[in-house]
Amino acid sequence: MNKKKAMNFLALSAMAVFLPTVAVQAEVATVEGASFSQVTDVDGIEGSCFYLYVPSHMESPFPMITPVIYVYGDQPYESEEAAWDALTAAGLDVIAEEEQGAIIMVNPVGDEWGEEDIDVYEAIMSYISYVDGTVPLTYHSLQYAIGEGSGATFINNYLTENCQRLAAVMTFGGEIGTPYPLYALPAYIVSGSQEAVDYYINANDGTVVLPTSGRVDQVAEKIKGEWVTEDTEEKTTYTLSSNDVKKVIVSKAESETLDADLIADCWSSLFRYTTRACLTSNFWQMSSDQNPDEFTLLKRPNYEEAGMEVVRVDGIGNGIWEDDEKNYWYEFVPAAVQEAMESGSDETFPLLMCFHGGGDHPIYEAESVGWAQLCIDNDIIMVSPNGGGAEQFNALMDYMIDKYPVDTSRIYAAGFSGGARSTLALSNAYPERLAAVAPQSCVAGPFYTDLMANIGNYDYDLDLPICVVGQGLETESTNHNGEYVWYDAIQIICDIDEIPQYEGELDYTQNPYWGFEVAGEVRHSVQYGFAIWQGFKYDENGIPMLGLMHTEATTHTHYPGYAPLIWNWMKQFTRDTETLEVVYTPAE
């Protein structure tokens, strides 16, 4: 397979998105700002051809939430106009504009689809990742494929065996000739055979062998889910009970050609809520050393179904940021909060400050660690800013308190990587405003040295409940000593929270994640397959002021298994708004 080297990740975030000049603009009527272009002989593959629709607007600073839909037709598109007619007739231009995504209409290399078209698929992924120094269109976590007729057969028999990046597929008709699926892959099937339905159900079968820590007292475990069936007049939906992202939808409509209404339903019932991410190695675009293992299927939250309002607010003009138009934030407002505001109720709700990592997008951060779904499930108000420092974050808290019914005794902060540094910065500067914090996978930062230096200036006993999170493969790339990345920081945290220090040499044989003994150590199985270890350090009053988490076999990457476990620890803490002291109420 042909692949281009990925661009350095840090360099990507500083550039603007634009299309390479090798594309030829088609004579079609797109909306203002959008483009439709033909690309031939991609990556030197003679005879290859595809047509690329880029919407009028895409999210920045980095295209982590840009969906891409590949379309495989029954017959080759003879011209740009023919491809455009097929795209618009299928309603894909509407989806692209509404969802800020890209559409790729692919032609076969020869007269019909075959194995060589997998090379083209790989080459297209490289093309939209990085071409001639341009910024990519996609993060490859929201990739989908739609096929009709012989194009559906190509998806069934070829693409499904090379689908590490595909989150879901949709087929109209087509044949199935590959009885042994290699990868889990959600599907929406129209006019497919029973063999095709069985194929995708088998592909998404629920037997999962969870990885272990390598400790002699741990054994691999298997989880076998059951299929739950929902039947309506329009379709039958099969959902795996142990992991509901694994889903097969069988339409009762009869069509072997692209149908706009069915495609819209597929988007709203499957594609929109399904993503795929690599959790075991650090790469963001295609590269020659692509991990051959299955990328993990993950579920995105359904805001519409939950009634959660997601509001984008520009920072300029709100008295928080003065002159940088890139500074904005997203407000996540659960249905219960909206109802309380509309009814005039005096009920208040927790507030979570959610900080994204370097080059990440605020929504990506909120979804990929599981915070957005957690806020839906627990009626938590959340704000996820794009950039800023401690002063801006403090002002943003005031803004949210003025706008929404926030319980000021229950304000929390969490963030991943660079977002962990933002969490550290805020809680270093304004610890008395926060009930608990969770910096995740922070490889460098202030680590509370400023807070410890100034702790004598507080006229009350300052405590700050802190949950730190590391990952199994993270130390290989972030700490050349092979020690737990938070080792030095934990010493300071123990001093702040009056936790007895541990003594002696670090022992990673007996304590493989932290090097020292922790209390209440437990291994949590997570539906996505990577278990999380959790432990605590208690202060002299028996309060778990320091939470510790570590994931098996993952690297420096987002993981939605974290949020529920962090919250179960966080919610035990509030901060008295008069005395400013931490109040601990053990969870039942």
Query: Per residue of the chain (588 residues), what is the pLDDT tens digit?
Result: 333 323 222 222 322 333 333 334 445 767 888 999 999 999 899 999 999 999 998 877 667 789 999 999 999 999 999 999 999 999 999 999 999 999 999 999 988 999 999 999 999 988 888 654 466 777 778 999 999 999 999 999 999 988 888 999 999 999 998 777 888 899 999 999 999 999 999 999 865 544 444 444 444 455 567 899 999 999 999 999 988 999 999 999 999 999 999 999 999 999 999 998 888 876 554 444 555 456 889 999 999 999 999 999 988 878 788 766 678 999 999 999 999 999 999 999 999 999 998 878 899 999 999 999 999 999 999 999 998 889 999 999 999 999 999 999 999 999 998 898 899 889 989 999 999 999 988 766 567 777 777 777 777 778 899 998 887 666 544 443 444 456 667 778 888 888 887 777 777 777 777 777 889 888 898 888 888 989 999 998 999 999 998 887 788 888 999 999 999 999 999 999 999 999 999 987
Biggest alpha carbon–alpha carbon distance for the chain = 79
pTM: 0.88
DSSP assignment of 488-552 equals HHHHHHHHHTTPPPP-S---TTTSTTTSS--EEEEEE--TTS--EEEEEE--TTS---EEEEEET
What is the SS3 assignment for 126?
Answer: helix
pLDDT score of 20: 37
* Residue 528, pLDDT score: 86
CA 456 – CA 479 distance, rounded (Å):
31
Can you read off the two tokens belonging to residue 503?
């003594």
| 79 strand-pairing partners | none
In 3D, which of 386, 392, 327 has the Cα closest to residue 361? 386
pLDDT score for 529? 82
Quote the CA–CA distance of 316 and 328 in Å, as a whole number: 8
Q: What is residue 342's predicted lDDT score, i.e. its pLDDT?
A: 97
What pLDDT is attached to residue 494? 83
Cα–Cα dist 144/125, whole Å: 12
State the pLDDT at residue 576.
96
Query: In whole angstroms, what is the distance from residue 142 CA to residue 155 CA?
Result: 17
pLDDT at 437: 96
Rg (alpha carbons) of the chain, rounded to whole number: 25
pLDDT of residue 477: 40
φ, ψ of residue 427 to 5 degrees: the values are: -80, -20
User: Do residues 30 and 63 lie in contact, with contact meaning Cβ atoms separated by under 8 Å?
Assistant: no
The pLDDT value recorded for residue 180 is 77
